[in-house]
């Protein structure tokens, strides 16, 4: 068993990571960090957590727990300021270490890139112990587009996400009265996942996110012009993947089949009127878009089975 610590456990990403670690056959939870819950028992976060778990400590104390792997579920600033203990695998679920260009990192996150590698296992396996876990939107867009990168010159990415993607912090846009029975585009043409997609795809895309009145789940509808056989390229890219499922012709990704899981679904279509290729990717923003991918990255860095601890089975309605 390798030892795992979670910092920032009280947020959505933290709790979801905890969920995966608790069910992981190769990881043992040694520290539960949360500055807001420090000193309280695990059940203070959720009554489903029982007394055998360690109590919450401060994040700083959790970082010194001697863990083999640390999951950083902090906000961008705290993640940027974090000093990784030597010899420890660290997976950063925030955005602080995703952009490798100095100017871009500074512009979008106020950070300086360091020795972190981007880890999206199917496309960009992590290259060292310090791993920048991709953004949820970026994961969906890249899964849909990277296999086509050689044959396209741009893309429109129209994305829709459940509200947990915006985190637990209190803001008007996440108030239920703003979300229920509504749909709202936001950060139109200016969202920080756009430079992340561009960096990994090798070209800029036009990216617009929309906030859905659902708790979790994300769908990206991607539009490209290409002469290539998109279906063949995507099927080849994910033929061996236990995580990404390319749907058969005519089948459409939707949120219900990926919610609560660490899987992604891809559907491929050709527009009858314009010949545009439409690639749709669905995933759970808290699963493959956050905690599931973080555990998958950690597994690779620790030499464990890639899908250990992931939620990939089952067919709930």
Enumerate residues 45-74 that contact its own copies by CB under 8 A.
45-49
The only residue of 123, 130, 131, 255 in contact with its own copies, by rule CB under 8 A: 255
Q: Applying CB under 8 A, which part among 94-102, 119-127, 211-219, 295-303 lies near its own copies? A: 211-219
Nearer to its own copies, 224 or 301 (CB): 224
Q: How would DSSP label each residue in 125-142?
A: ---SSEEEPPPHHHHHHH
Nearer to its own copies, 129 or 287 (CB): 287
The only residue of 254, 300, 302, 308 in contact with its own copies, by rule CB under 8 A: 254
270 binds its own copies (CB under 8 A): yes
**For residues 128-157, which are near its own copies according to CB under 8 A?**
154, 156
Q: How many CA atoms lie within 13 A of 232 on its CB side?
A: 5
DSSP state of 200: H
Q: Is 296 exposed, middle or buried (0-12, 13-18, 19+ CB in 10 A)?
A: buried
280 binds its own copies (CB under 8 A): yes
Residue 62: strand, helix, or coil: helix
Q: How many CA atoms lie within 13 A of 103 on its CB side?
A: 0
Using CB under 8 A as the criterion, what x/- string covers residues 157-196 for binding its own copies? -x-x-xxx---x-xxx-xxxxxxxxxxxxx-xxx---xx-
265 binds its own copies (CB under 8 A): yes
Nearer to its own copies, 176 or 239 (CB): 176
Nearer to its own copies, 272 or 303 (CB): 272
Beta carbons of 72 and 90 less than 8 angstroms apart: yes
CA 88/CA 228 separation, integer angstroms = 42
Q: Which two tokens stand for residue 295?
A: 């555990």
76 binds its own copies (CB under 8 A): no
Minimum CB–partner distance for residue 31 and its own copies (Å): 17
The only residue of 221, 293, 297, 299 in contact with its own copies, by rule CB under 8 A: 221
Q: Which two tokens stand for residue 75?
A: 């906000």
CA distances to 21, 66, 84, 104, 297 from 301, rounded to whole Å, are 15, 17, 15, 27, 6
Strand-pairing partners, residue 4, are: 29, 69
DSSP state of 84: P
204 binds its own copies (CB under 8 A): yes
Beta carbons of 224 and 206 less than 8 angstroms apart: no
Minimum CB–partner distance for residue 2 and its own copies (Å): 20
25 binds its own copies (CB under 8 A): no
* Closest alpha carbon to 93 in 211, 6, 216, 195: 6
Minimum CB–partner distance for residue 294 and its own copies (Å): 15
Beta carbons of 76 and 61 less than 8 angstroms apart: no
206 assigned to active site: no
Q: Applying CB under 8 A, which part among 62-70, 79-87, 94-102, 274-282 lies near its own copies? A: 274-282
Nearer to its own copies, 75 or 158 (CB): 158
262 binds its own copies (CB under 8 A): no
The only residue of 149, 228, 278, 300 in contact with its own copies, by rule CB under 8 A: 278
CA 267/CA 280 separation, integer angstroms = 5
202 binds its own copies (CB under 8 A): no
Q: Among all residues, which ones are annotated catalytic?
A: 136
């Amino acid at each position: 068993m390798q030892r795992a610590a979670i910092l920032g456990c009280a947020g959505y990403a933290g709790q979801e990571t905890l969920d995966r670690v608790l069910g992981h056959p190769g990881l043992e939870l040694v520290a539960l960090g949360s500055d807001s819950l420090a000193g309280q028992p695990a059940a203070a976060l959720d009554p489903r957590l029982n007394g055998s778990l360690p109590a919450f400590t401060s994040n700083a104390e959790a970082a010194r727990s001697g863990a083999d792997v640390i999951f950083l579920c902090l906000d961008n600033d705290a993640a940027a300021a974090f000093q990784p203990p030597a010899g420890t695998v660290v997976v950063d679920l925030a955005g602080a270490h995703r952009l490798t260009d100095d100017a871009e990192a500074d512009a979008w996150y106020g950070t300086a890139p360091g020795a972190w590698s981007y880890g999206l296992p199917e496309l960009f396996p992590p290259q060292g112990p310090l791993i920048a876990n991709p953004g949820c939107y970026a994961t969906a867009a890249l899964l849909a587009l990277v296999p086509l990168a050689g044959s396209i010159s741009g893309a429109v990415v129209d994305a829709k996400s459940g509200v947990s993607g915006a985190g637990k912090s209190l803001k008007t846009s996440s108030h239920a009265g703003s979300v229920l029975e509504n749909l709202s585009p936001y950060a139109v043409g200016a969202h920080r996942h756009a430079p992340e997609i561009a960096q990994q795809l090798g070209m800029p895309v036009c990216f617009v996110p929309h906030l859905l009145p659902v708790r979790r789940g994300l769908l990206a509808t991607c539009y490209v012009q290409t002469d290539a056989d998109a279906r063949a390229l995507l099927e080849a890219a994910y033929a061996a993947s236990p995580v990404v499922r390319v749907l058969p012709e005519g089948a459409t990704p939707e949120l219900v089949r990926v919610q609560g899981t660490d899987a992604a679904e891809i559907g491929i279509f050709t527009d009858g009127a314009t010949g545009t290729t439409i690639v749709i990717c669905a995933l759970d923003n808290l699963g493959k878009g956050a905690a599931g991918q973080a555990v998958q990255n950690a597994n690779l860095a620790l030499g464990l089975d890639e899908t250990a601890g992931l939620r990939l089975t089952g067919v709930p309605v």
